[in-house]
Amino acid sequence: MQDTYQRDRLLHLGLLAGMFLIIHTVYTAYIRPRAESWVDEQRAAIAADPNHVPTGSFFVIIKDYEQETAIITAFWALSLSMMKMALVRRQRKPLEDGAIRVPAGIRVLPEDVREWTRQLENLPDGQRGLILPRIMGRALKRFGETRDVQDASTTVHDLAESEMGRLDSELAPVRFAVWAIPAIGFVGTVRGIGHALRGAQLAFQGDTSAVTGGLGISFNSTFVALTLSIVVMYVLHEVQLSQERLVLDAEQYVDEHLIQHLQAT
């Protein structure tokens, strides 16, 4: 189990590092140069025509470091979420195939447990560790030990709850991202306000560029962070819903295709 945690941690950190390299390269090579070019163009237009009204620019909105950090964190969280969704689809495959079950009309006695357990053990390596075979295997083992159908049913329910908790705990990095993105935006807000206050003296002399620039940092970082947090939060709830449905469907499947076929005597 510890090896699994270490492997997941390294995978998460490696994915975060990859996102940083890709997005930072895009910012350095494309986004910030485009934003600076837009600013220069608008300054030249205002110098030529004092009544010129600047147009908006998406690159200016996302050019600052806080927005870059929020975007890196959001893409990292979305990538982790997509990985979890892919795992859920893989876990659902045995449920949809319906191959792992006791045929209709067959009764499973305590003496038959070993035979049915062997069928689960003979599954391919990639399927033995899935939720459905593990719940079925634990139920069969409990039934063989106690010869009590109710004990087997209780075991299925307890294991399903345990799996629900495990899957939920694996979403901790995504939940961290949901918290971190607005916090990053707040950092940008504070930095922008501080920058505007430092330029207040120049504003009294007629130069408002420092004040407007600081307020731009503040508003843009807040806007980007809140928008990204809404998107990531929605994806997180979708992943959590898919995981809960997976476990509930697996519990119902085992009850219908195994527990109802068990017979103590």
- 22 vs 44 pLDDT, higher one: 22
Assess if residue 110 is contained within a domain.
Answer: yes
Instruction: Report the pLDDT averaged over residues 34-44.
Output: 85
- Global pTM reads 0.87
Long-range contacts of 231-236 (CB under 8 A, 24+ apart): 231/74, 231/78, 232/74, 232/77, 232/78, 232/81, 232/174, 232/177, 232/178, 232/181, 233/178, 235/77, 235/78, 235/81, 235/174, 236/77, 236/81, 236/171, 236/174, 236/175, 236/178
Q: Give the residue numbers spanning the domain of 59.
A: 1-63
pLDDT at 207: 54
pLDDT at 32: 92
Quick one: pLDDT band at residue 108, thresholds 50, 70, 90?
confident
Quick one: pLDDT band at residue 89, thresholds 50, 70, 90?
very high
Share of the chain above pLDDT 70, in %: 93
Are both 56 and 13 inside the same structural domain? yes
- 54 vs 154 pLDDT, higher one: 154
pLDDT at 249: 94
Q: Write out pLDDT tens, residues 209-257.
A: 556 667 778 888 999 999 999 999 999 999 999 999 999 999 999 999 8
Minimal CA–CA distance to 131: which of 103, 168, 93, 169? 93
Assess if residue 33 is contained within a domain.
Answer: yes
Assess if residue 74 is contained within a domain.
Answer: no
How many domains is the chain partitioned into structurally? 2
Assess if residue 75 is contained within a domain.
Answer: no
Quick one: pLDDT band at residue 200, thresholds 50, 70, 90?
low
pLDDT at 206: 55
Q: Write out pLDDT tens, residues 51-84.
A: 777 777 888 889 999 999 999 999 999 999 999 9
Quick one: pLDDT band at residue 263, thresholds 50, 70, 90?
confident
Are both 88 and 48 inside the same structural domain? no
Assess if residue 69 is contained within a domain.
Answer: no
Assess if residue 68 is contained within a domain.
Answer: no
Residue 13 near residue 44 (C-beta atoms within 8 A):
no
**42-66 burial by CB neighbour count: b if 16+ within 10 A, else e?**
beeeeeeeeeeeeeebebbbbbbeb
pLDDT at 94: 87
Minimal CA–CA distance to 140: which of 103, 114, 106? 114
